[in-house]
A and B are shown apart, each in its own frame.
Chain A
Amino acid sequence: MRHEPTKQEYSQMVEEMTPKHNSLLNCIRAFFVGGAFCLLGEMIKQTMMKVFDISKKDALLYVTIELVLLSVILTGFNLYGKITKFGGAGGLVPITGFANSVASPAIEYQKEGQVFGIGVKIFTIAGPVILYGIFSAFLAGICYFLGTQWGWIG
């Protein structure tokens, strides 16, 4: 017969099993993973500007497209989750983290159909991000608009 753990033993077990939050280690990992994505972005930007003679504004858009594509491919091969697991915020904060949160439910829920599976779930994270991004930009835009109208700004 198996030994039933007492309450005390059980709480000790829980204590041991719960992953320890090592904040310093988390931060170091986040720094290197997040920094690496930004470094990659900068490399794409410089290459676009110098080799292909593209304006800075367009080069930044190419950076976005290429990082998003990279992230979606990594998500498809189930690798991006590992990056986030290791890097924490380092995998979440860059635009690649956003792309991962779009691609991941799209792949995951494809069995539930084109419209209510992929079509709905693809916006699980993208929806709130776009909504609050657009709305806060709208609010800031109103302040700017009124400011220019009444001669406070510019």
Chain B
Amino acid sequence: MEYVKAFFVGGLICVIVQIFMDHTKLQPGRIMVLLVISGVLLGALGIYEKIEAFAGCGATVPLSGFGFSLWKGMKEAVDQHGFLGLFEGGFTAAAVGTSAALIFSYLASLIFQPKMKQ
């Protein structure tokens, strides 16, 4: 059942973004920025937590889930370190995702050659 929920909710988030894209013609970069910001916002409002509790990876795998984890990291850091946490939480929460993307991408740039556009 968890698998069905993850598939369905994850797919639904993509459909919402697809409709948004078809109507606004926004570039992918802007879409990703908007997704992360809305994840942070929905996280701070306590809404994304409920979506995650229901859908699991259907909520965490989309980029809005990345925003949600940024918010969670921020909240934890503020709870632990107060004011200093404001400058800690974001990068702590983003650490694994961005490090993985940067490290693997750099390795890929050493291994793969650019291909001609078809």
Chain A residues within 8 Å of B, Cβ to Cβ? 21, 23, 26-27, 30-39, 41-46, 60-61, 63-65, 67-69, 72-73, 75-78, 87-90, 92-95, 97-99, 101-103, 106-111, 118, 122, 124-126, 128-130, 132-134, 136-138, 140-145, 148
A-chain residues with CB within 8 Å of residue B19 when the two chains form the complex: 23, 27
Cα–Cα, bound, A62→B58 (Å): 15
Pairwise interchain contact A68-B11, C-beta atoms closer than 8 A: no
> Once the chains bind, are B33 and A137 in contact (CB under 8 Å)?
no
Contact partners of B37 in chain A: CB under 8 A: 132-133, 136
List 9 interface pairs A-B (beta carbons < 8 Å), by A numbering. Answer: A23-B18, A38-B61, A60-B57, A68-B100, A102-B101, A107-B105, A109-B114, A140-B71, A140-B74
Interface SS, B side: helix
Top 9 A-B residue pairs of the complex, sorted by shortest distance between their CB atoms: A38-B10, A34-B14, A35-B11, A41-B57, A42-B6, A89-B18, A31-B11, A76-B112, A42-B57
Q: Which residues of B contact A (CB under 8 A)?
A: 2-3, 6-15, 17-22, 28-29, 31-33, 35-37, 40-41, 43-44, 55-58, 60-67, 69-71, 73-75, 77-79, 82-83, 85-87, 89-91, 93-94, 96-98, 100-102, 104-109, 111-115
Q: Are A94 and B94 in contact (CB under 8 A)?
A: no
Residues from chain A with Cβ under 8 Å of B21 in the complex: 88-89
Nearest residue, chain B, Cβ from A56: B56
Q: List chain A residues, Cβ under 8 A from B57.
A: 38-39, 41-42, 44-45, 60, 63
Q: State in angstroms the CA–CA spacing of A44 and B60 once bound together.
A: 13
With both chains docked as a complex, state the minimum distance between the C-beta of A38 and any C-beta of chain B, in angstroms.
3
Q: How far apart are B34's CB and chain A's nearest CB, in angstroms?
A: 9
Contact between chains at B73 and A107 (CB < 8 Å):
no
B68 to chain A, nearest CB (A): 10
Q: How far is the CB of B5 from chain A (nearest CB, A)?
A: 8
- Are A103 and B104 closer than 8 Å at their CB atoms? yes
B-chain residues with CB within 8 Å of residue A45 when the two chains form the complex: 56-57
Bound complex: CA A42 to CA B9 (Å): 12
Q: Which residue of B lies closest to A124 (CB)?
A: B29
